[in-house]
Homo-oligomer: A and B are copies of this chain.
Amino acid sequence: MNIPLTPVRFLRYAEKQFPNKTAVVCQDQRFTYAQFADRAARLAGALRAAGVKAGDRVAFLSMNCHRLLEAYFGVLDAGAVLLPLNYRLASHELSYILNDSAATRLFLGQDFLGLVDSFRTKLTSVHSHHLLDATPQADWLAPQNYEQLLAAATPHRAEITSFDEDSLCELFYTSGTSADPKGVMLTHRNIYLHALHIALFHHTKFEDVFLHTIPLFHANGWGAAHTITLMGATHVMSPRFIPQEVFRLVEREQVGSLSLVPIMASALVNCPDRSKYDLSTLQWITIGGAASFPSLMREVEQKLGCKCFSGYGLTECSPSLATAELKSDVACEPEERYLLQSMTGYAYPGVELRVVDFEDQDVPHDGEIMGEIIARSDSVMAGYWKHPAATAEALRGGWFHTGDMAVVMENGYILIVDRKKDIIVSGGENISSLEVERTLLAHPAVYEAAVIAVRDDKWGEVPKGVVILKPGWAATEVELIEFCRSNLAHYKCPRSIEFCETLTKTATGKVLKKELRKKYGGVSGSLMRRQ
């Protein structure tokens, strides 16, 4: 008997088994699983009554709140596809995504009224704009807001066997550091199996209380929408990241775990109000979205009193691929432990990871030779929306090519050293731009640093540094290059340094190296390019 794998089953199970358990805490509101499921079913009923058809894309632009979480199930129960939008994107990016996906409906929080108003005339497919949380005042908004839609709706719960597990479930757009954002097509099966494997690994239980600190539209944030629901655990929504607010929620709701990006973790450990709160219920924190450092792991463990380890994932993989939670049979000193816990780590159950050279051969486990991380997993996307060529390229040979360059340690742990397109290939050697950037950042005068490849007649490519100095500090090009030479192998050192005032970044805070390459005549290097 094959029952379609769909995340809708998670909410059905929790509703049936734990109807009176607190499912969601959002500001001053609390919903049981019976209420959460009823609201999701009402959303489904409302969407169907409004004419939403199977496969339609329904977009949400919202801070973390219970309504957005309801959409993760209700939109699916209506037969539609959820399109959660990154509210940190610029208006031209949002209109691009809405038009590219041909979304028909947009639900938006009142905080984003001005933003949507700025691009709504450019939208080619969205015909209805629904406010989530306020009374519509403008004529371009649908007269009924989300709550009114739900109140008037007949709850709809689709028959589970009517789902096609291989059909599109969620559409997320990549942040587009190198090109236009691409829609990542995740199927019902992708999401279901991802959640099962991740919850299995982390021993998610009924008693757990999880704080949603990362926006749900973000790769690092959305997985918990499913893993927490499937075991009847409790979601606590955090609309904005404010350290004191995080601490307050941890104390009030007895939160056991949360996910952070490194900069959030730094903010928490450095918040002077920390000691005013009871954080004793915290069990573990996972850090992802950017490279971590052993010192950050140590600080979190010591100051917040819980386990802390890195995680690794990509939008294309639903998202989680690896974890650095210490394996139980590894005995080591604290400092080595923090080093291991800050790494990219090892594959979750259900995931196969390899690190391969340009001939798709596994690199040795020596911590030295770089290769690209490739992944095979139930959670790897069906493909990029309307980009068959990019899909074929990313999934060639039946493995997803992450574009992340890494080394493998003797113990099998993986450590990412750079994005593939940022690698500098100089005289036949691969140079991690991240490693050079870290070296530049270690100079006392350097505030920010980015390193790109520029062409060189002799070496093919050589590293070039782009640096912002700290206010009131000074340093010359020669001085910084010398500093690198005293800390790095000679061939890895920048041959030139440019000083600037700002570095253009994506909505998720990554430096847009393609802009730097355009400005300074850089090239996008990769091992593959050399074939």
Contacts and interface: CB of A to CB of B under 8 A. Distances in A.
Contact of A3 (B5, B166, B376): B376
B329 A1 contact: no
A293 B207 CA distance: 27
A412 interface: yes
Interface string A172-211: 0000000000000000011000001101100111110000
Contacts of A161: 398
Contact of A200 (B190, B200, B377): B200
Contacts of A3: 376-378
Contacts of A5: 378
Contacts of A361: none
Interface stretch (A16-24, A58-66, A280-288): A16-24
A206 B328 contact: yes
A346 interface: yes
Nearest to A1: B380
A382 interface: yes
A9 B329 contact: no
Interface size bucket, A side?
Answer: 35 or more
Interface string A344-387: 00110110100000000000000000000000111011100000
B2 A206 contact: no
Contact of A349 (B13, B350, B400): B13
A80 interface: no
B400 A17 contact: no
A332 B380 CA distance: 44
Given A1-B382, A206-B327, A378-B2, A412 B17 contact: yes
A161 B377 CA distance: 11
A230 interface: yes
A2 B166 contact: yes
Contacts of A349: 13, 230-231
Interface of A: 1-3, 5, 9, 12-13, 16-18, 20-21, 160-161, 166, 189-190, 196-197, 199-200, 203-207, 230-231, 327-329, 346-347, 349-350, 352, 376-378, 380-382, 395, 398, 400, 412
Given A1-B378, A3-B376, 11 more contacts: A1-B376, A2-B166, A12-B352, A16-B347, A16-B352, A161-B398, A196-B200, A199-B200, A200-B200, A206-B328, A230-B349
Give me the 4 closest cross-chain CB pairs, A-B, nearest first.
A1-B380, A203-B203, A206-B328, A200-B200
